[in-house]
Amino acid sequence: MFPIIPDMHVTGLILAGGKAKRLGGEDKGLIQLGQRHLIEHVIDRLQPQTTSVLINANRNQETYRGFGYPVIADGVPDFAGPLAGILAGLQHMTTEWLVVVPCDNPALPNKLVMSLAEVTNQQQCLLTVANCQGNIQPVFCLLHKSLADSISDFLAKDQHRVQDWLVHQTYSVCEFDDPNAFSNINTPEQLQEASKTP
């Protein structure tokens, strides 16, 4: 199980399965940022850090497959949220470890996986979550495949929030100091601001 070597033992999961209500219901990962789709920016950051990449999407799956990576849907119906996507990733990956990121964060750290793995190795834990300037980032995490049952049981109780699931887990925290690295895009205004960034 330990030590974790990111480019040998870690599958990357990009969460693109939500409804994006604050963006008018558009499929967030397929929104244009510059000349490319939002998810393409995330793939560029994540792919070099991992063994392989999965995309969690519940609509437009053929379009997502066009980016060259396996696409998996939630096993829980009705857009059950990020936790359902994480469970799908754990159930479909072929490695022991899964690193999770959202599709709406084009500036995610280039050393995200390495940093999470270092803390995980040091603490010998099954779950490490990113934290930036006092703000926990629950959908930026590294977790072991053995946590699938815990998530499945939680969802079976009709509970869906990642933060609520975390409360019941023993986890380590990995500190990051650049808040811009975790600036996700939820609104048209945020998309416009991100478009100004070189």
130 occurs within a structural domain:
yes
Count the domains in the chain: 1
Residues whose CB is less than 8 angstroms from the CB of residue 187 and which lie 6 or more positions away in sequence, other chains included: 22, 23
29 occurs within a structural domain:
yes
Cα–Cα nearest to 14, from 184, 185, 140, 186:
140
Q: What is the mean pLDDT of the chain?
A: 93
Binning pLDDT at 50, 70 and 90, where does residue 198 land?
low
pLDDT tens, 79-119?
Answer: 889 999 999 999 999 999 999 999 999 999 999 999 999 99
1 occurs within a structural domain:
no
CATH of the domain at 56: 3.90.550.10
**What pLDDT does residue 63 have?**
97
Report the pLDDT averaged over residues 137-158: 97
Rounded Cα gap, residues 89 and 14, in angstroms: 9
60 occurs within a structural domain:
yes
Q: Tell me the DSSP string of the chain.
A: --S--HHHHEEEEEE--S--GGGTT--GGGSEETTEEHHHHHHHHHGGGSSEEEEE-SS-HHHHHTTTS-EE--SSTTT--HHHHHHHHHHH-SSSEEEEEETT-TT--TTHHHHHHHHHHHHT-SEEEEEETTEEEEEEEEEEGGGHHHHHHHHHTT---HHHHHTTS--EEEEE--GGGG----SHHHHHHHHT--
pLDDT tens, 37-85?
Answer: 999 999 999 999 999 999 999 999 999 999 999 999 999 888 889 999 9
**What pLDDT does residue 137 have?**
96
143 occurs within a structural domain:
yes
Binning pLDDT at 50, 70 and 90, where does residue 23 land?
low
66 occurs within a structural domain:
yes
Domain residue limits at 26: 6-195
**What pLDDT does residue 25 have?**
74
146 occurs within a structural domain:
yes
185 occurs within a structural domain:
yes
**What pLDDT does residue 65 have?**
98
